[in-house]
């Protein structure tokens, strides 16, 4: 790459070249102008790993714990490390910009992409995102804060109008972006799909121009979410620099016409081009050439970081009678639907092909020094488990053949134009290309051989974006070609799973064929759905079993076992982009299994894996509960480290777990109705609501236990404006510090980390209603048993005391006596006060 003279380059570009630079050329690349040494840039998803340029049949990658898991660590140093490894992974994939972190707010537990964001709180989310971005950009890779802003649900996400007060917009939804930018000015911003107060964000001058550019002074590149551009002139004039992906829908000849007719002034177009060229210069030191090969790293030191991140994210919710940690030298029974399933990430753009995965059962088995037994209990799959890994191709290799044709199966003497070997029987073809394919309409035969180990009736399922028939020995078992119904798979593009059944005999080999036709062969109505490429397929199978028999067997085993751990939860099928959950419950059968196993063995340890809250009707009967999230490559090992005490849990919940869905403040206002969603809870999101109405949740934001105990003492609050030295704040971001100093002591038997949380309570003289208290800062400290350390939490007085005054259009820091509370593990609360002597109003970052 060559550093550009931006203004000289703009003067030499033709109108057509300028226009080309403002849109992608394909799914992952920007345009190049080689005569002026302007290179193409490569972008890739994030946020919990770097996939590269291929959804379909791609290069494996490191998969980090999901964002809510990283949010649970409350660990800025860990997020620095995560960002640096993410940059290494991006460089290995030849990628200049990572499309992450995601920092939307989980206003409801049902949000399909809730697991992609860090927290329900803007301070925690923005602080961690800032460090994620800082670590990444230290190595030269561009970070992308997304989705700007109010992209907090999946239902009708392209069309929904998020109706929100200016106060809530500022104090809740813009706040994490603002906080992150104080720590690290990300190279890019990605706009949200939705409207805010009547205007799509990608063409919203107030949000992109007035707030982001002018008020915050941010000068990076603004790109659309994929297919999240809805206009030509409006988007260009509002400040949308880059339409993604390519080929363009809204620029090209349409934009040329808009410039020629003065709907877009050429100097405005030059501003969009300038931001693209500035980004190229910012990324120049990376030295990644165009078309760089995509490689994997998979280094031992990275495995250690991924394992550390997984373990440090596990929240200890209950531990009566000190059941945990478990004993390695005692036998253990492992039960449950998530035990032998690697729930390593959520679904959608966050998903990727991992280098490897470790299931909880594998993690426990590797750590235990005594026999490990297993009982399934129930299954938690939403669709039937993938059949591909159980197949063998004609040459005996695991998997199946994937043969591509331009003609349908009904045409005689057709010839294959491509043939691949696959193992996973799921594929999204958005980035599959072959020069011999004549159009978006083509056909694929997937063929493999299945030899069941047990006699029985087997269920088979097919989900498609397109059409599909599954045949066994040339007999049609599943026909998903007509009267199709839309489901949640493939970003909401796919059908529901159509099923069929056939009795199979153990030891007999059966030929399995899926006849697939791409998206244009489908009869689904795709209005309002993002059309990602030529289609997708998924086929699975399982022997039909009796759930009562499985539960009864697990209960009987648990009644005799000395140590029992039960793994339940959700998977990427249940939490995924394109689909909001219908409820907070675990998959069918899970609650019954847990309840009956706890009755048989009250000392059973329950481990839940989910990216967002679930109901736990059995929580009062359980003595030990862990929340383990989607834990990335090292998920199983990280959980086992906590179960056996190799890692002392220190994580705290980054979001509130309500007792039931109806308790959540967004309950009556979630999902789109006639094209809009009302943010009726206003600023009372998450813990702010529960504390305001004095309603106890199941588990509170910021809550988490440890295998040791801590004491906090000797609080002092200093408002003298000395310049602090902060490891987690860039130079100059705090102009008027409030420094809270306290002593933290490990009073228990083992080493561990404590998270001190600083809350500020508004004065009773405040002129508007405000939350009871709000998190304004935190710090994490590691202590040996018996050790004490003095810690400081420093916040900016003006920022920490302000609310958004809609009449003035400014932040208001009102005079009065403010109270401070410092909390952590346990119920002890340290208290102090400080004064704001004069009311002030301000705007800016």
Mean pLDDT computed over 526-548: 84
Residue 449 has a pLDDT of 98
Beta bridge partners of 226: none
733 has pLDDT over 70: no
- Of 45, 75, 121, 225, the active-site residue reads 225
Rounded CA-CA distance 331/163 in Å is 55
Mean pLDDT computed over 177-188: 98
Strands, E, within 269-409: which ranges?
315-319, 332-335, 372-375, 391-392, 400-405
712 has pLDDT over 60: yes
- The answer to whether residues 517 and 440 touch, using CB atoms and an 8 Å cutoff, is no
Rounded CA-CA distance 584/579 in Å is 14
DSSP letter at 213? I
pLDDT digits (tens, 9 = 90+) for 645-681: 999 999 999 999 999 999 999 999 999 999 999 999 9
Whether residue 225 lies in the annotated active site: yes
725 has pLDDT over 60: no
Beta bridge partners of 273: none
Rounded CA-CA distance 311/73 in Å is 9
pLDDT digits (tens, 9 = 90+) for 434-447: 999 999 999 999 99
CATH tag for 388-543 (out of 3.40.190.10, 3.40.50.1980, 2.40.50.140, 2.60.120.260) = 2.60.120.260
Rounded CA-CA distance 839/814 in Å is 4
**Which of 628, 562, 621, 571 lies closest to 592 in space, CA to CA?**
621
702 has pLDDT over 70: yes
Distances (CA, A) of 385 to 442, 461, 537: 26, 9, 14
Assign 726 a pLDDT band (cuts: 50, 70, 90): very low
pLDDT digits (tens, 9 = 90+) for 112-136: 999 999 999 999 999 999 999 999 9
Assign 533 a pLDDT band (cuts: 50, 70, 90): confident
CATH class for domain 710-842? mainly beta
How would you class 733 by CB atoms within 10 Å of its CB: exposed for 0-12, middle for 13-18, buried for 19 or more? middle
pLDDT digits (tens, 9 = 90+) for 472-509: 999 999 999 999 999 888 888 899 999 999 999 999 99
**Which of 130, 220, 170, 145 lies closest to 729 in space, CA to CA?**
130
Beta bridge partners of 772: none
pLDDT digits (tens, 9 = 90+) for 228-278: 999 999 999 999 999 999 999 999 999 999 999 999 999 999 999 999 999
Q: What is the mean pLDDT of the chain?
A: 95
Residue 46 has a pLDDT of 86
Mean pLDDT computed over 790-804: 97
Assign 721 a pLDDT band (cuts: 50, 70, 90): low
Mean pLDDT computed over 686-696: 98
Assign 433 a pLDDT band (cuts: 50, 70, 90): confident
Residue ranges of domains in the chain: 1-38+224-288, 301-346+368-374+558-692, 388-543, 710-842
- For the chain, give the percent of residues with pLDDT over 70: 98
Mean pLDDT computed over 52-63: 92
Q: What is the pTM of this model?
A: 0.95
CATH class for domain 301-346+368-374+558-692? alpha beta
565 has pLDDT over 80: yes
Assign 43 a pLDDT band (cuts: 50, 70, 90): very high
Rounded CA-CA distance 491/225 in Å is 14
In the chain, how many H helices and how many E strands?
19, 36
């Amino acid at each position: 790459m060559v550093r550009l003279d931006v203004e000289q380059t703009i003067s030499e570009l033709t109108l057509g070249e300028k226009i080309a630079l403002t849109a992608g050329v394909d799914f992952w690349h920007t345009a190049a102008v080689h005569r002026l040494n302007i290179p193409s840039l490569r972008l890739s998803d994030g946020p919990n790993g770097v996939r590269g340029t291929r959804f379909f049949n791609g290069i494996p990658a490191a998969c980090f714990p999901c964002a809510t898991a990283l949010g649970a660590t409350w660990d800025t140093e860990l997020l620095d490390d995560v960002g640096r490894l993410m940059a290494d992974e991006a460089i290995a994939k030849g990628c200049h910009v990572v499309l992450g972190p995601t920092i939307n707010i989980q206003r409801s537990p049902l949000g399909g992409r809730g697991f992609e964001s860090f927290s329900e709180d803007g301070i925690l989310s923005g602080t961690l995102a800032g460090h994620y971005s800082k670590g990444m950009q230290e190595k030269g890779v561009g970070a992308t804060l997304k989705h700007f802003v109010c992209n907090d649900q999946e239902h009708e996400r392209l069309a929904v109008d998020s109706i929100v007060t200016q106060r809530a917009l500022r104090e809740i939804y813009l706040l994490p972006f603002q906080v992150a930018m104080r720590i690290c000015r990300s190279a890019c911003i990605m706009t949200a799909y939705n409207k805010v107060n009547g205007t799509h964000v990608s063409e919203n001058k107030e949000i992109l121009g007035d707030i982001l550019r002018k008020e915050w002074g941010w000068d990076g590149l603004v790109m659309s979410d994929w297919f999240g551009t809805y206009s030509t002139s409006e988007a260009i004039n509002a400040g949308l620099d880059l339409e993604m992906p390519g080929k363009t829908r809204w620029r090209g000849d349409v934009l040329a016409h808009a410039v020629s007719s003065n709907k877009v002034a050429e100097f405005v177009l030059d501003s969009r081009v300038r931001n693209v060229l500035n980004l190229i210069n910012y990324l120049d030191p990376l030295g990644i050439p165009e078309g760089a090969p995509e490689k994997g790293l998979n280094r031992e030191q990275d495995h250690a970081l991924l394992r550390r991140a997984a373990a440090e994210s596990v929240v200890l919710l209950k531990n009566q009678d000190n059941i945990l940690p478990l004993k390695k030298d005692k036998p253990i029974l492992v039960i449950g639907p998530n035990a032998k399933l690697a729930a390593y990430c959520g679904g959608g753009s966050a998903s990727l092909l991992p280098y490897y995965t470790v299931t909880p059962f594998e993690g426990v088995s590797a750590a235990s020094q005594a026999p490990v037994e297993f009982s399934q209990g129930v299954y938690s799959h939403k669709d039937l488990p993938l059949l591909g890994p159980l197949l063998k191709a004609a040459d005996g290799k695991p998997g199946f053949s994937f043969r591509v044709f331009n003609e349908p199966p009904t045409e005689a003497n057709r010839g294959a134009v491509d043939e691949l070997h696959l193992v996973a029987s799921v594929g999204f073809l958005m980035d599959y290309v072959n020069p011999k394919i004549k159009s978006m309409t083509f056909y694929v035969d997937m063929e493999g051989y299945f030899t069941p180990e047990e006699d029985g009736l087997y269920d088979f399922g097919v989900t498609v974006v397109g059409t599909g028939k599954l045949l066994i020995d040339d007999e049609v078992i599943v026909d998903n070609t007509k009267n199709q119904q839309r489901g949640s798979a493939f970003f909401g593009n796919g059908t529901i799973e159509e099923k069929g059944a056939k009795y199979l005999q153990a030891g007999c080999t059966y030929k399995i064929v899926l006849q697939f036709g791409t998206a244009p062969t489908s009869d689904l109505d795709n209005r309002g759905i993002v059309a990602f490429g030529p289609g997708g397929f998924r086929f699975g199978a399982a022997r039909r079993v009796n759930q009562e028999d499985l539960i009864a067997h697990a209960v009987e085993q648990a009644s005799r076992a000395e140590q029992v751990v039960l793994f339940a939860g959700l998977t990427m099928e249940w939490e995924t982009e394109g689909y909001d959950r219908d409820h907070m419950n675990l998959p069918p059968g899970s609650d019954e299994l847990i309840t009956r196993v706890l009755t048989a063995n009250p000392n059973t340890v329950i481990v839940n894996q989910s990216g967002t809250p679930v109901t736990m009707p059995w929580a009062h009967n359980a003595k030990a509960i862990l929340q383990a999230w989607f834990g990335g490559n090292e998920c199983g090992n990280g959980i086992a480290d906590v179960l056996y005490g190799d890692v002392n849990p220190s994580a705290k919940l980054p979001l509130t777990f309500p007792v039931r869905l109806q308790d959540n403040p967004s309950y009556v206002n979630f999902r789109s109705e006639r094209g809009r969603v009302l943010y009726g809870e206003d600023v009372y999101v998450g813990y702010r609501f529960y504390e305001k109405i004095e309603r106890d949740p199941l588990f509170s934001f910021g809550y988490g236990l440890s295998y040791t105990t801590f004491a906090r003492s000797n609080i002092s609050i200093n408002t003298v404006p000395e310049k602090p030295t902060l490891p987690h704040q860039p130079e100059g971001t705090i102009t008027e510090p409030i420094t809270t100093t306290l002593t933290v002591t490990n009073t228990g038997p083992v080493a561990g980390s404590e998270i001190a949380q600083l809350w500020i309570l508004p004065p009773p003289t405040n002129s508007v209603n405000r939350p009871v208290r709000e998190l304004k800062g935190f710090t994490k400290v590691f202590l040996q048993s018996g050790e004490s350390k003095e810690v400081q939490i420093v916040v900016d007085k003006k920022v920490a005391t302000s609310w958004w005054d809609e009449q003035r259009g400014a932040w208001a820091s009102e005079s009065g006596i403010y109270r401070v509370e410092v909390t952590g593990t346990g119920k002890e609360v340290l208290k102090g006060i400080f004064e704001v002597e004069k009311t002030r109003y301000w705007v800016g970052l």
